[in-house]
Amino acid sequence: MAKLKQKYSTLLFSLFFIISLCFIHGCLAQSDIYDGSWLDDDEASGLTEEDDGVIMVQNRRANLKNCDFSAGKWVYDESYPLYDSSCPYLSVSVACQKNGRPDSDYERWKWMPHGCSIPRFNALDFLGRMRRKRIMLVGDSIMRNQWESLVCLVQGVVPTGRKRVTYDGPSMAFHAQDFEVSIEFFWAPLLVELKKGTNNKRILHLDMIEENAKYWRGADILVFDSAHWWTHSDEWSSWDYYMEGNNIYTNLNPMVAYEKGLSTWAKWVDLNLNPRETRVIFRSISPRHNRENGWKCYNQREPLGYFHQPHVPEQMLVLQGVLRRMRFPVYLQDITTMSSLRRDGHPSVYSKSMAQKEKEHQKDLSSDCSHWCLPGVPDSWNEMLNALF
């Protein structure tokens, strides 16, 4: 009996010893519950500053980790849109319903990637996860289009007295005060600096960016775009000549200039931002459905089904090349092909209210086939961003 007790005591001691070792060395299973901190995502997924590939925007939640958001189809969904054209933060030029557009189906198409689905945007959930963060969208009028979409997606759950918009030079910000969240837009269509020189000449400095970039410091999430302005024709060009160092260029291939400008931006990001503190996304070029692309967007009522061979804009190839050379892990949000299918989503002639005479001669009016009606296509871009965070 004594031997049995001794054997039992030895067994209990051994068991206690093994459990103790497990606690010391981490043998016990760790909880896999996501704690809401996106700042840990890069480390958890194995991404480091040394990753130099172009990382397609992906959801970090387990069920979407391997989903390519850029490949899919538009699906009609009666539960959309997620807000209506009465949103007070919409520019007149994109509030197409207010401007008399007779159809509204363009508001009800949802982007569905192949093999997965993008979670429906939930404003309270988004604001809760973004609590005490600065989100800044930087770029041109298409990026402002996206900013207005994101603000309209969230503003409905914020009480009237607890939201406001502030202005600071080239930036504007929507504040959800109870969440201490700001959603900001910064006007910088070329990213690099455009200045006035001697004789009032406009100079695009391909190697200067700090006058713009100083506003970007301190943001938790930065979303960039820059493409359209680089290819404006001479008539619509915003500069008279380029400068790089002491070199002046009056004639420069637009894609060469674009690469130089993007490289200046990339160098600034590499040198000034910490991937553990700031997440950076670069949104790809938004397509234009105008004469140059073979059709106009006037009176288009539904998306295209697919492309046999999707066209890859030259700007996209330049952007991919620059991102591959960066040390900072920038996410490329590819919205180009999916948006190319949406020739029905532009304001066309409904970018302003029309008098009766104009309504009778709509085909004679100018047609905006670059920006997007809201609610509309940019809402899907923002649902993609929401899935990323």
Contacts of 160 by beta carbon, 8 Å cutoff, 6+ apart = none
371 is catalytic: yes
Residue 194 · residue 205 · CB < 8 Å: yes
Measured distance CA(308)–CA(104) in Å, rounded: 28
Could you say which of 42, 344, 368, 379 is catalytic? Answer: 368
Kindly list the distances between the CA atom of residue 329 and the CA atoms of 189, 261, 322, in Å, as whole numbers in the listed order: 22, 19, 12
Could you say which of 45, 104, 117, 141 is catalytic? Answer: 141
Provide the β-strand partners of residue 12: none
Helix H, strand E, coil C: the string for 54-117 is: CEECCCCCHHHCCCCCCCEEEEECCCCCCCCCCCCCCCHHHCCCCCCCCCCHHHCEEEEECCCC
Residue 45 · residue 60 · CB < 8 Å: yes
Sheet holding 331-333, edge to edge: 55-56, 331-333, 279-283, 221-224, 134-139, 181-187, 171-176, 163-168
Measured distance CA(18)–CA(347) in Å, rounded: 69
Measured distance CA(270)–CA(98) in Å, rounded: 44
361 is catalytic: no
Active site residues: 141, 368, 371
